[in-house]
Amino acid sequence: MAKSAIGPLLVIRVNAEQKGFDIDAIDARIYCINTSDGELAIGISGESFMTVDEESGETADDAATERFFLKPGEVHLIAEIAGWEWDGHVGMKITYAPLSGGKSISRSYDFKSGNSNYKIESLNLQGRVVPGR
């Protein structure tokens, strides 16, 4: 497997096919892919929020968390986003570290952004790389 120039973990947004207008339908799926030669320990936490009151600016957040391991080349679905969710910030903080030892890395991902196309070969899906900051 070729290593990614971006890092050992890629986050990919894949737009869902829509048959008609449905604000509650899944609009996108977010996957992470281990492009390294070793297993990674992954921790994710939600950073999404939406405005619930336009006048006061009150927001609600999604603090979902998950932990899992990814072997080299493995793909893991980490989020499904409904159409209405795009009205607020939609993103996650992802922390990953090689199981063989080494420093853990934490990055925030804004799912509205994308900087290049990427095909997830094992799922035959085309998406966009979501850059971490």
Q: Are 7 and 105 in contact (CB under 8 A)?
A: yes
List the chain pLDDT tens, one digit each, 133 residues.
444 445 799 999 999 988 888 888 999 999 999 999 999 999 998 765 554 455 655 544 455 678 999 999 999 999 999 888 888 788 899 999 999 988 999 999 999 999 999 999 999 999 999 999 9
Q: Is the pTM of this model over 0.85?
A: no
Residue 103 contacts by C-beta under 8 Å, 6 or more apart in sequence?
97
Q: How far apart are CA 88 and CA 7, in angstroms?
A: 28
Q: How far is CA 50 from the centre of its chain?
A: 17
Q: Are 52 and 98 in contact (CB under 8 A)?
A: no
Q: Are 94 and 42 in contact (CB under 8 A)?
A: yes
Domains of the chain, first to last:
9-128 (2.60.40)
